[in-house]
Amino acid sequence: KSIRADLQYAIARGELKLHYQVQTSALTDEVTGYEALLRWTHRTRGLIPPDIFIPIAEESGAIVEIGDWVLRTACKTAVQWGRDKIAVNVSGVQIARADFAESVHSILYETGLPPNRLELEITETALIADKVRALHTIRQIHALGVSIAIDDFGTGYSSMQTLRTFPFSKIKLDRSFTHGLDREPAAKAILHAVLALGKSLGITVLAEGVETLAQLDILRHEGCDEVQGYLLGRPEPRESALAANISVA
């Protein structure tokens, strides 16, 4: 299909762009980092959401070049900001490549971003295809000083085994749990359990998709570490995210 064909030229045509969404400390509102989120403006179709084109890019292999572009662009932006962590989503297809840790290393070197300011977000689903290799690669990346977050936590199928094996420093609790917080006792009970798990494993817990003050209140009350969502800030282009960053400095 033409989306698939056009994806290979999207970088060269300058159609890809990153937006950045703020992550904050739940208690103090302090900025802890920004998540880079990819946007593609197709010259005729307009904005195509990542939910649509990422799976196509994974299938065609274009995700490798796109993923490198995302990582390089996000790292460069973070260097210009001069502070805060940058979180970058990584596909299972990238992790499955034998040279992935090496590309992360070169991009850090090339952009000059200190490894401890980079965090890679990985979903459980991205880790299951070849667990042995994924673990090897993630250990190499972790050894560089880059931190690893488990994304959409709670929606995969072997969360506990994954937590036990991989060197995660952050759990990103899937937004479906956050959305249930003010209505469903089960969502709150799960939050409670995940926070206890995070605390005993020494892993930071971030709640995704925070949209209301009622949700934020519950998260604060339960002792959640970090929050992200429309209430705190929408994903936005670098210029506006930078302005927000300066205003809190």
Q: With contacts defined by CB under 6 A, name the span among 6-14, 85-93, 104-112, 138-146 that binds ligand G.
A: 85-93
CA 114 to chain centre: 18
Q: Does 33 bind ligand G (CB under 6 A)?
A: no
CA 197 to chain centre: 20
* Measured distance CA(153)–CA(200) in Å, rounded: 17
* Measured distance CA(233)–CA(230) in Å, rounded: 5
Q: Total binding residues for ligand G by CB under 6 A?
A: 21
* Measured distance CA(210)–CA(224) in Å, rounded: 12
Angle at 189 between CA 185 and CA 193, to 5 degrees: 170
Q: Does 229 bind ligand G (CB under 6 A)?
A: yes
Buried b (16+ CB within 10 A) or exposed e, 60-76: eebbbebbbebbbbbbb
Q: Judged by CB under 6 A, which of 6, 119, 151, 226 binds ligand G?
A: 151
Q: With contacts defined by CB under 6 A, name the span among 106-114, 128-136, 204-212, 236-244 that binds ligand G.
A: 204-212
Q: Judged by CB under 6 A, which of 24, 32, 73, 89 binds ligand G?
A: 89
Residues 12-31 that bind Mn ion (CB under 5 A): none
Q: Total binding residues for Na ion by CB under 5 A?
A: 2
Q: With contacts defined by CB under 6 A, name the span among 44-52, 105-113, 180-188, 195-203 that binds ligand G.
A: 44-52
Q: Does 226 bind ligand G (CB under 6 A)?
A: no
Q: Does 124 bind Mn ion (CB under 5 A)?
A: no
Q: Are 69 and 103 in contact (CB under 8 A)?
A: no
Q: Does 151 bind Mn ion (CB under 5 A)?
A: yes
